[in-house]
């Protein structure tokens, strides 16, 4: 599935504050995340969604930010320190998901990243293991970059691990679904 990984330097463009004009992370996530939750932001990049998630989970919550590229995580670390939110985050390199306790996560974001994951069945298996019963995962992909057929195959892989399709969410320019762990 994955035929490329977003270059690390694009992380600066994706984390640009001007992007908020077109895509407001808080508005997108507020109905899914609340104070005290533990959230995984998979494919966090330099934190466009991670920083707002850290604000939403509050001082008693935790955001586990996962990315395959250390340069992305380094950029996020600097941003988290500047915003005073680093105490709410755990930064992990992709492949380190075993450090996440079983049944400990309330919500997972996979925003614009599923198409880059080489072993999607393993990804969904890892997320399923980490998610508490009733936890949800939000998957978004850009329509201009990912074919609907490819996205539906990813959803089928998620369902094969035991995740249940909760809803298609209409985010207009994006392919999106919410799945939950029974």
CA distance 24 to 49: 9
| Domain coverage including residue 151 | 23-177
Read off the tokens for 36: 């005290």
pTM confidence score: 0.88
Whether residue 11 lies inside any domain: the answer is: no
CA distance 45 to 42: 9
| pLDDT surpassing 70 at residue 27 | yes
Whether residue 136 lies inside any domain: the answer is: yes
Mean per-residue pLDDT, 130-138: 97
Q: State residue 43's pLDDT score.
A: 93
User: Got the DSSP string for 117-152?
Assistant: -S-HHHHHHHHHHHEEEEEEEEEEEETTTS-HHHHH
Give the total number of structural domains in the chain: 1
Whether residue 129 lies inside any domain: the answer is: yes
pLDDT grade, residue 1 (50/70/90)? very low
What's the CATH number where 53 sits? 3.40.50.150
Whether residue 12 lies inside any domain: the answer is: no
């Amino acid at each position: 599935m994955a035929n490329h990984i977003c270059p690390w330097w694009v992380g600066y463009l994706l984390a640009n504050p001007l992007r908020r004009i077109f895509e407001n992370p808080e508005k997108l996530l507020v109905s899914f995340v609340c104070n005290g939750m533990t959230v995984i932001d998979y494919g966090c990049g330099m934190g466009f969604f991670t920083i707002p998630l850290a604000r939403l989970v509050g001082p008693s919550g935790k955001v586990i930010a996962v990315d395959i590229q250390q340069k992305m995580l380094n950029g996020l670390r600097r941003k988290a320190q500047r915003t005073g939110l680093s105490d709410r985050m755990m930064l992990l390199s992709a492949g380190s998901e075993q450090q996440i306790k079983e049944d400990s996560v309330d919500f997972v974001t996979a925003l614009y990243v599923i198409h880059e994951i080489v072993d999607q069945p393993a990804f969904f298996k890892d997320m399923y293991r980490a998610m508490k019963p009733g936890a949800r995962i939000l998957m978004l992909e850009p329509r201009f970059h990912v074919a609907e057929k490819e996205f539906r195959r990813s959803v089928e892989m998620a369902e094969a691990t035991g995740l249940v399709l909760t809803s298609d969410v209409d985010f207009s320019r994006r392919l999106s679904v919410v799945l939950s762990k029974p």
